[in-house]
Structure 1
Amino acid sequence: MAATPMPPPGHQNFEGGPPPAPPPPGTDMTGICFRDQLWLNTYPLDRNLVFDYFALSPFYDWTCNNEQLRLRSTHPLDISQLSKMTGIEYILSEVMEPHLFVMRKQKRDGPEKVTPMLAYYILDGSIYQAPQLCNVFAARIGRALYYISKAFTAATSKLEKIGYVDSENEPSIIESKAGKETIDFKEVRRVDHILASLQRKLPPAPPPPPFPEGYILPATAESETGPEAQQAGESQPPTLDPIIDQGPAKRMKF
């Protein structure tokens, strides 16, 4: 394995002041990405050197078994050596040289027993953390329910305006309204009954899948606010989609 030089303390590959410190590995880091253009200009990005490049990123856990193999001058992705160890490790699951590399973080309890934890992908030299599938589903279901709730609220307000008759209007205005098409309130009640029956037939939302062992949930705004803010009448806007709203072009680079 070709050895690559490690960056000196305080190494910065960005312009301006230092960025905020990234969270520790194992937390939700889908909002940031890592790219070292100096390293990419010096070494080829292939299956032999991709782990050395990944070890420079804030996603790398220095307590993993791969780091112990590096200290022994052994290739850190040697599966024959990793299968004899227990603990946190990284493996290269998918390779499309030189554009895409998928790195999987997992916990090994034996030669054949592993538990996947997180996934990272290196796309054209930029490293990202893949979002949890449950987070993607929760964000998109929450966004759909938010807009469905807004649609029902708008429909209810329009129905109330249609059925409202102002007793203080002048007779001329009442006569002009009488010439217009009348509203069939039986039809309105029938539509309300159909919508209510459809809402009752919808099954309850299934419980979210459990998070992998060692995964730390990100801090949310709900935990920081008091009970008065949580009891607000209006519905909150949908949460950020980790794929659409935090795509590669919108993530903070390190």
Structure 2
Amino acid sequence: ENPLSISWHDSAWIPMLSPANVLDYFSERTNPFYDKSCNNEIIKMQRLSPEQLNNMTGMEYILLHAQEPILYVVRKQHRHSQQQVTPLADYYIIAGVVYQAPDLYSVLNSRLLTSLHNIQSAFDEALSYSRYHPSKGYWWEFKDKEDKKREGGKKKPEEMSSAFQRQRVDMLLGELADKFPPKFAQPKRGDQPVPVEEDRKPGEQAAQVKEEKSEDTPNQNHSSSGSRSNQSMQPPEKRMKLSKQS
């Protein structure tokens, strides 16, 4: 199995990880990246100080870089002497999850394969648009492809409005209601709506009716007196005819 495609973690250790115990966390038995034949395991079994690794030869693990509390880098190396070591692999621990860092060959290989795949896909798509006829030659035709995309395309589901949008609309509706008040009002719940102009107290309505009557009576008196004066101003013959008709 390719070690670049796997990861490992232990949930019990993650909350307490620190530079002092990260190597102990990495040396857990269930970690597939840890080699139990290393010098770290010998020191751990003999309960020696980690500084004794510099006096030993063979494979070992060291803490190369620490950026608390999220990132730790552990290096696997082969020690030949106190001053001479050969790096073998690097492992990075992000949020308690252990991964193996890819080497330069793996990175270049992955990037080249991705680029070749994208280029091949572009050529295949361009080839699907080309047309040829013996009398016309070669030409490009994109209509069929666009029609197929339109027929096969599905409508996206409508997104629900957010709470902010709904509250914003309510505020705008409230401002409009203040600027343009409704023409009907409902005095009590369950009653029929009443026009705002007629929504007055009975005493106010009676006072308004009395004022309207008082304004109408002078006009009626004036009209009756005017009719009498008109009759008196008419000649005697017309007055006789009017009296007979009445």
TM norm structure 1: 0.48
Larger-Rg structure:
2
Structure with more contact order per residue of length (Cα contacts < 8 Å, sep ≥ 6): 1
Write 1 or 2 for the structure with the bigger share of helix: 2
